[in-house]
A and B are shown apart, each in its own frame.
Chain A
Amino acid sequence: EPEVTQTPSHQVTQMGQEVILRCVPISNHLYFYWYRQILGQKVEFLVSFYNNEISEKSEIFDDQFSVERPDGSNFTLKIRSTKLEDSAMYFCAFRPAPGHYGYTFGSGTRLTVV
């Protein structure tokens, strides 16, 4: 299975600060996702991104979150004003094509909001 690189691996930020999490997608994969996992809880869907726009988002993905591919390569998740409850592992994931159901997850970014 190909590796998906996420940066940074760990970020500590002050409450109210903006953070940007980055992911290098697998080439030729079309569907991009962000998931999060609060410590001890299940993996939760945040948002899916296809053809340079959001295709689906969960209730968690409110106005403080945004996603983009700023340079056509990296896939980013921005949290504008972090809250304590945003502390979690954030994973990007990719799927190659419509009808192909294999999802590859990244190594994750541990976000700690203090």
Chain B
Amino acid sequence: EDQVTQSPEALRLQEGESSSLNCSYTVSGLRGLFWYRQDPGKGPEFLFTLYSAGEEKEKERLKATLTKKESFLHITAPKPEDSATYLCAVQAGGANNLFFGTGTRLTVIP
């Protein structure tokens, strides 16, 4: 059975304090790993798609990396506006849908 586990569940950072969020996955035939940002009461907002181990993608203060077992979302010098829940999801095998983790709730304190 496909498994996506995100850690930590919640993370509090001081503004400017860099850190990483983890997404571990166990799936058959990974076709893509997705990172989304979700603000309270809103829909997930697309950040990145990673397709193969060793791939990296960057956007502003965020950088996503992928290995054969996990993905990291690195946040460099975060700002309060980066506060949100970050969701990891996978598409695997013959499935035509996404399987989500429970998310990491990030709070950045000024």
Interface residues of A (CB under 8 A from B): 1, 4, 6, 31, 33, 35, 41-45, 48, 50, 55-56, 58, 89, 91, 101-108, 110
A45 vs B32: C-alpha distance in the bound complex, in angstroms?
A: 16
Whether A56 contacts B43 in the complex (CB less than 8 A), given A42-B102, A102-B49, comes out as: no
Question: What 6 pairs across the A-B complex have the smallest Cβ distances?
Answer: A105-B43, A45-B97, A43-B100, A101-B32, A42-B102, A105-B44
A103 vs B99: C-alpha distance in the bound complex, in angstroms?
A: 12
A107 vs B43: C-alpha distance in the bound complex, in angstroms?
A: 5
Interchain CB contact under 8 A, B103 and A42 = yes
Interchain CB contact under 8 A, A41 and B102 = yes
Which candidate, B16-24, B64-72, B76-84, B87-95, is the interface stretch facing chain A? B87-95
Interchain CB contact under 8 A, A110 and B45 = no
Whether A45 contacts B98 in the complex (CB less than 8 A), given A101-B32, A102-B49, A103-B34, comes out as: yes
List the B side residues contacting A103 at CB < 8 Å: 34, 46, 98
How many interface contacts (CB-CB < 8 Å) are there between A and B? 57
Taking the closest CB of chain A, its distance from the CB of B92, in whole angstroms, is 12
A33, A44, A101, A107: the one within 8 Å of B42 (CB): A107
List the A side residues contacting B98 at CB < 8 Å: 35, 43, 45, 103
Taking the closest CB of chain B, its distance from the CB of A92, in whole angstroms, is 9
Interchain CB contact under 8 A, A43 and B46 = no
List the B side residues contacting A104 at CB < 8 Å: 46
Interchain CB contact under 8 A, B97 and A108 = no
Whether A43 contacts B49 in the complex (CB less than 8 A), given A31-B96, A55-B96, A101-B32, comes out as: no
Residue B41 CB within 8 A of the other chain: yes
Taking the closest CB of chain A, its distance from the CB of B9, in whole angstroms, is 11
The contact sample of 27 A-B pairs, CB cut-off 8 A, is: A1-B45, A4-B43, A31-B96, A33-B97, A35-B98, A41-B102, A42-B87, A43-B89, A43-B98, A44-B100, A45-B98, A45-B99, A48-B97, A50-B96, A56-B95, A91-B44, A101-B32, A101-B34, A101-B49, A102-B46, A103-B98, A104-B46, A105-B43, A106-B43, A107-B42, A107-B43, A108-B43
Taking the closest CB of chain B, its distance from the CB of A51, in whole angstroms, is 12
